[in-house]
Amino acid sequence: MNHGASDFHLQNEAGADNDSNDFYLQVGAGGNSNSNGICLQDGADKNSDVASQLVSTTQDRFIGEGLSHAQTSNQENTHAMLFSLSHFIGAPSTQNMTPAVIASVETMLAKWKGQEGREIEVFEEFKLLTSEVILRTAFGIKDCVLKIVKKREDKVANGEADSFGNDFLGLFLNAHHDSDKENRISLEDLVDESKTFYLGGQDTVNSLLAWSIFPLAVHGDWQEKARREVIDIFGNQNPHLEGIAKLKTMTMIINETLRLYGLSSGLMRRTGGEVQLGKMVLPANIDLMPLNIAVHHDPQLWGDDVHLFKPERFADGIAKATKFNAGAFFPFVLGPRSCIGMSFATTETKIALSMILQCYTFTLSPPMSTHRCLLSASDHNMEFK
Ligand code: HEM
């Protein structure tokens, strides 16, 4: 379902009262310059027309059997990959990625300066940003994966380098050359994983950024709280990992954004054997689609204000917000097939939002009236001020 565009009116923080510094940003999660639509219920990877075509028609050819599509028959390899990748994408790697994210956000902000007074399609801007980040962090260079693989292998073989590199591709190459046959992945898998990471790292963070900036434009009080926290922690300096870990208000905002505008509406699962689900007995080999969006919008779990943007529900952490119901909040899924890019995604989002908040205030721009109708019609009761 596509909703229309959401436009933002940004003010340069340095000259917040100066009209000449004002400019408009437009957020359209549709990723399609014609529709500029925001989709409240579809998955992030399905938000853009282009992405949904890929998912529905060319996914296998394009993505192949990357981690996200690995079937249970591949699970041993998948688990081996998951184990090492989780470690790579988890805490240690956020240190490696921080300078790359900062450099990419700086490029974006420099471009915004030149665009003052004009409307900017923020979703497109974030798409470029996240694409650049993933290329810098995941592959280092933009060339064809196989060409890079060959180059790196040659270097290690000639003794010019002692490792395949510190990025995702280097990790995949290590797995490809693993001395233990059980853990080894084929070259084909390596290429598929690279494509999965490229797509996984781009559309998802792009959407999270666009959806996070949206309620902040609507709820100026939360925007101000977030800015105060950012300034308290970083001042006017670039974000650093130690400070990112202290961004409590921003974490609450991101969690509430993921709850309300979660990027995936449901998850495809197949029963491996007969299984009891509550009072139901499900036979083997049937497809299920647990709807995380339904759980995230269930008033019995979250209260009557379930449709309102209220980051304060996460003030004492996820456990308290969910009344200790572990299955009530799973934007990155729970269990062995959970998202391995979670830490990467949230860190990138926090860096980008911090740097935007340091420079600009933003409000919804006049064309948002269309959205007001759409949003209230869709029972989301967004409070527009
Ligand atoms: C806000 C950002 C993101 C969200 C909300 C998100 C959400 C999810 C969800 C819901 C799944 C489970 C899908 C399923 O089981 O059917 C998943 C899996 C996955 N995600 Fe993410 N993701 C995000 C960012 C990323 C990033 C940045 C990367 C990579 C750099 C990534 C890589 C993956 C991979 C490889 C899987 C498959 C894991 C497996 O099946 O074993 N994700 N993600």
Give the total residue count for the chain.
385
The candidate with the shortest Cα–Cα distance to 44, out of 347, 352, 349, 328, is 349
Question: What is the whole-number distance in angstroms between the Cα of residue 60 and the centre of ligand 1?
Answer: 17
Least confident of 76-80, 244-248, 278-282: 76-80
The pLDDT of residue 38 is: 23
Which residue lies with its CA nearest to atom 9 of ligand 1?
332
**What spacing in Å lies between the alpha carbon of 345 and ligand 1's midpoint?**
9
More confident residue, 279 or 91: 279
For position 344, what pLDDT does the model report?
85
Contacts 24+ apart (CB under 8 A), 108-114: 108/352, 109/355, 109/356, 109/359, 112/10, 112/23, 112/25, 112/360
Residue 273 lies in a domain: no
User: Is the CB of 345 within 6 Å of ligand 1?
Assistant: yes
Q: From the alpha carbon of 263, which atom of ligand 1 is closest?
A: 5
User: For 233-246, what is the mean pLDDT?
Assistant: 96
Q: Whose CA is nearest to atom 14 of ligand 1?
A: 267
Residues 184-237 pLDDT 10s: 888 878 777 776 776 666 778 888 998 999 899 889 999 999 999 999 999 999
ipTM of the complex: 0.98
pLDDT over 70 (residue 90):
no
Is pLDDT above 70 for 376?
Answer: no
Residue 284's pLDDT is what?
93
Mean pLDDT, residues 240-244 taken together: 95
Ligand 1 binding pocket includes 382 (Cβ within 6 Å): no
Give the Cα separation of 355 and 106 in Å (integer): 8
Query: Is the CB–ligand 1 distance for residue 344 below 6 Å?
Result: yes
Taking the C-alpha atoms of residue 321 and residue 314, their distance in angstroms, rounded to an integer, is 5
Taking 3-state DSSP, the helix, strand and coil percentages for the chain, each rounded to the nearest 5, stand at 60, 10, 30
Q: Is residue 272 part of a domain?
A: no
Which 8-state DSSP code applies to residue 349? H
The CATH number that applies at residue 23 is 1.10.630.10
The string of DSSP letters for 193-257 reads HHHHHHHHHHHHHHHHHHHHHHHHHH-HHHHHHHHHHHHHHHTTSPP-HHHHTT-HHHHHHHHHH
Q: How much is the average pLDDT of 51-69? A: 37
Residue 82 Cβ contacting ligand 1 at under 6 Å? yes
Virtual torsion, Cα 155, 157, 162, 166, nearest 10 deg: 60
User: Is 212 domain-assigned?
Assistant: yes
Nearest to 122 by CA among 55, 216, 51, 54: 216
Within a domain: residue 333? yes
Q: Is residue 274 part of a domain?
A: no
φ, ψ (nearest 5 deg) of residue 362: -145, 145
307 lines ligand 1 (CB under 6 A): no
pLDDT tens column, 247-270:
999 999 999 999 999 877 778 888
Tell how far the Cα of 335 is from the centroid of ligand 1, in angstroms: 12
pLDDT for residue 148 is more than 60: yes
Work out the pLDDT band at 299, boundaries 50, 70, 90.
very high
How confident is the model over 49-65, as a mean pLDDT?
Answer: 32
269 Cα nearest atom in ligand 1: 16
Q: Which residues contact 150 (CB under 8 A, 6 or more apart)?
A: none
- Residue 330 makes CB contacts below 8 A (sequence gap 6+) with 292, 295, 338
Q: Is ligand 1 within 6 A of the CB of residue 264? A: yes
Lowest mean per-residue pLDDT among 64-68, 75-79, 191-195, 279-283: 75-79
Q: Does the beta carbon of 200 sit less than 6 angstroms from any atom of ligand 1?
A: yes
Question: Model confidence over 101-140: pLDDT tens digits?
Answer: 898 899 899 888 877 666 677 888 888 888 788 777 665 4
Q: What span, in angstroms and rounded, lies between the C-alpha atoms of 58 and 56?
A: 6
* Residue pLDDT, tens place only, 320-371: 999 999 889 999 988 877 888 888 899 999 999 999 999 988 877 666 545 5
Q: Is residue 159 left, alpha or beta, with left meaning phi > 0 and alpha meaning psi from -120 to 50?
A: left
Give the pLDDT of residue 54. Answer: 23
Q: Which domain holds residue 36?
A: 6-264+297-377
Ligand 1 center to 204 CA (angstroms):
8
Tokens matching residue 83 = 């184990």
> In the chain, how many domains are there?
1
Q: Is residue 291 part of a domain?
A: no
In a domain, 302, yes or no: yes
Instruction: Kindly report the protein residue whose alpha carbon is nearest to atom 15 of ligand 1.
Output: 337
pLDDT greater than 70 at residue 99: yes
Q: Biggest alpha carbon distance in the chain?
A: 66
Averaged pLDDT score across all residues of the chain: 72
Burial 260-286 (b: 16+ CB within 10 A, else e): bbbbbbbeeeeeeeeeeeeeeeeeeee
Helix (H) / strand (E) containing 119: strand 119-121
342 CA → ligand 1 middle, Å:
7
Distance 128 CA to ligand 1 centre (A): 19
- Distance, CA of 125 to CA of 15 (rounded, Å): 22
Cβ–ligand 1 distance for 252 under 6 Å, the answer: no
Tell me, what's the pLDDT at 11? 47
Q: What is the pLDDT of residue 199?
A: 65
- Percent with pLDDT over 70 in the chain: 64
Q: 43 in a domain, yes or no?
A: yes
8-24 mean pLDDT: 38
